[in-house]
């Protein structure tokens, strides 16, 4: 068992002010895999104070030197990628091959894209030819509190810490207490990369403790949070007292609109995307809207694909999905599956209970419901598990209305070989991200949504600019 009770504050590992042990549960075995400490007000205050002391010098560091420091973090990753993958596999249930190929590589992917964007930032630029002596300057906002989730832990650390460092901000990271080990390895990357003391700090804790203190701390200029919509609302209210900037990346209920002329792999692609990471992705295509002439065949394909997806321990190699993160999550997903049955949706794959052959671990059967009616619980609410809802539609206009009839607006998907229709749908769908025909967004595009999905713009130049203040200067000497 791993014992990591210390926090990374002011360039060194330090014991918590008050010891409060917290077990980290391996969701494949339901047994503790580590023990950490949860921080409190004193630990958070110490981390913020360290970041505040470090801020003036780090903000004044030439951009090229900040860039070089981030490149050194990448070198640390390359030396220890296996440690990072194994940590995430154990603590949050990503199968080891998935952790190696999908979870851990989020760090170099985002880091290199941020470096590309960083190289094109103009820190002081003219407003325009009509006002030659007016300049727009960009400068770091200050000390930032970064609160990250357990489902794609290194992805969110990379999307927050790296742009903050490049912008010239100093950081206090609070990772999820469900998946803290990868964050502690990342802190080692920062230390071994030679970041100055206080530039990056890590305090483990829960939302009610460390998270709440960061959110209300008067010396924290900004909170960047990824997690539930409920928690995002609470953070916004708490942060209002100090008028700090708040960026939120929250839940989703993505619609995957499959027209009758979709390519042959569209349904399979959608089901596999839904089940990836055991359905624990805020951008999962959890509602599959299928045009009626193709609907019956699509249901058959979806059921066959879901039934073919294997479930297994995160410690085993192979192309399977692992457990969900904890017992509470497992019970919540089971409740949604039962709700789907009770409300009259047609179960065509999976269902309640543990998969065959399992008597422990938080494993969920890949589940597909057909004939879901708009308004059903499984159609409206984010389940955050491997559960797909399939709904028929007739016309393009109906599909657009159904897809947009959600309080969320993170990612929607379109499958059609009619280019003009695809583009119309992309412009009409109310979400921060649209992906069509299996093609993802290009390198450097942001991740972020609308409505109850929050309005963060993480990634590329937008992700760096979230940590910058703009200043208009008149009378610039020419």
Encode 297-326: b = buried (16+ Cβ within 10 Å), e = exposed: ebbebbbebbeebebbbbeeeeebbbbbbb
Residue 249 appears among annotated catalytic residues = yes
Q: What's the mean pLDDT in 64-91?
A: 98
Q: What's the mean pLDDT in 326-345?
A: 98
pLDDT at 1 over 90: no
Number of helices (H), then strands (E), in the chain: 15, 22
Q: What's the mean pLDDT in 15-21?
A: 93
Catalytic residue among 282, 379, 458, 466: 282
| Secondary element (H or E) of residue 426 | helix 419-428
pLDDT given at position 253: 98
SS3 276: helix
Structure tokens that stand for 117 in this block:
């964007």
Catalytic residue among 178, 249, 379, 466: 249
Cα 19 from chain centre = 29
Q: How far apart are CA 387 and CA 383, in angstroms?
A: 7
Which pLDDT band holds residue 342 (cuts at 50, 70, 90)? Answer: very high
Q: How far apart are CA 370 and CA 24, in angstroms?
A: 37
pLDDT at 478 over 90: no
Q: How far apart are CA 181 and CA 41, in angstroms?
A: 21
pLDDT given at position 19: 85
pLDDT given at position 50: 98
Which residues lie below 8 Å from residue 131, measured CB to CB, with a gap of 6+? 474
Rounded mean pLDDT of the chain?
97
pLDDT in tens, 95-120: 999 999 999 999 999 999 999 999 99
Nearest to 267 by CA among 246, 282, 289, 283: 289
pLDDT given at position 193: 98
Q: What's the mean pLDDT in 339-361?
A: 97
- Cβ(359)–Cβ(323) below 8 Å: no
Give the DSSP letter string of 146-161.
EE--SSSHHHHHHHHH
Distances (CA, A) of 73 to 70, 363, 408, 441: 5, 35, 35, 25
Percent of the chain whose predicted confidence (pLDDT) is above 90 = 99
pLDDT given at position 96: 98
pLDDT in tens, 141-195: 999 999 999 999 999 999 999 999 999 999 999 999 999 999 999 999 999 999 9
């Amino acid at each position: 068992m791993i014992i990591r009770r210390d926090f990374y504050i002011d360039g060194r590992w330090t014991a918590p002010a008050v010891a409060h042990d917290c077990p980290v549960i391996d969701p494949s075995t339901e047994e503790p895999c580590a023990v950490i400490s949860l921080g409190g007000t004193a630990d958070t205050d110490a981390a913020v104070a360290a970041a505040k002391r470090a801020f003036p010098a780090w903000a004044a560091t030439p951009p090229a030197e900040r860039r070089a420091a981030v490149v050194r973090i990448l070198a640390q990753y390359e030396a220890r990628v296996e440690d990072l993958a194994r940590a995430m596999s154990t603590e949050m249930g990503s199968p080891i091959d998935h952790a190696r190929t999908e979870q851990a590589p989020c760090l170099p992917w985002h880091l290199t894209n941020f470096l590309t964007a960083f190289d094109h930032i103009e820190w002081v630029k003219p407003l325009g030819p009509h006002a030659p002596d007016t300049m727009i300057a960009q400068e770091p906002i200050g000390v930032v509190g970064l609160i990250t989730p357990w489902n794609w832990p290194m992805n969110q650390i990379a999307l927050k810490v790296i742009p903050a460092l490049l912008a010239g901000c100093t950081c206090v990271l609070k990772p999820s207490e469900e998946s803290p080990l990868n964050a502690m390895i990342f802190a080692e990357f920062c230390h071994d990369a030679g970041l100055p003391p206080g530039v990056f700090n890590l305090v483990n804790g829960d939302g009610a403790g460390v998270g709440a203190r960061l959110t209300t701390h008067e010396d924290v200029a900004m909170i960047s949070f990824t997690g539930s919509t409920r928690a995002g609302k609470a953070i916004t209210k708490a942060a209002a007292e100090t008028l700090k900037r708040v960026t939120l990346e929250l839940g989703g209920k993505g619609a995957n609109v499959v027209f009758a002329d979709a390519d042959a792999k569209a349904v399979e692609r959608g089901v596999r995307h839904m089940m990836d990471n055991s359905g624990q992705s805020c951008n999962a295509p959890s509602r599959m809207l299928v045009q009626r002439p193709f609907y019956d065949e699509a249901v058959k394909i979806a059921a066959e694909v879901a039934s073919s997806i294997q479930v297994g321990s995160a410690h085993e190699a192979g192309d399977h999905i692992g457990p969900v993160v904890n017992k509470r999550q497992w019970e919540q997903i089971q409740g949604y599956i039962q709700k789907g049955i009770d409300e009259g949706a047609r179960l065509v794959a999976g269902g309640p209970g543990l998969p065959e052959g399992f008597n422990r671990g938080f494993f969920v059967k890949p589940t597909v419901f057909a004939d879901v009616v708009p308004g059903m619980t499984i159609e409206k609410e984010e389940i955050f598990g491997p559960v797909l809802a399939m709904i028929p539609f007739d016309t393009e206009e109906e599909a657009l209305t159904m897809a947009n009839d959600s309080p969320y607006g993170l990612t929607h998907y379109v499958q059609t070989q009619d280019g003009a229709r695809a583009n119309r749908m992309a412009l009409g769908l109310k979400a921060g991200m649209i992906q069509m025909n299996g093609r993802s967004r290009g390198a450097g595009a942001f991740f972020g949504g609308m409505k109850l999905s929050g309005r963060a713009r993480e990634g590329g130049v937008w992700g760096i600019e979230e940590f910058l203040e703009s200043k208009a200067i008149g009378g610039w000497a020419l």
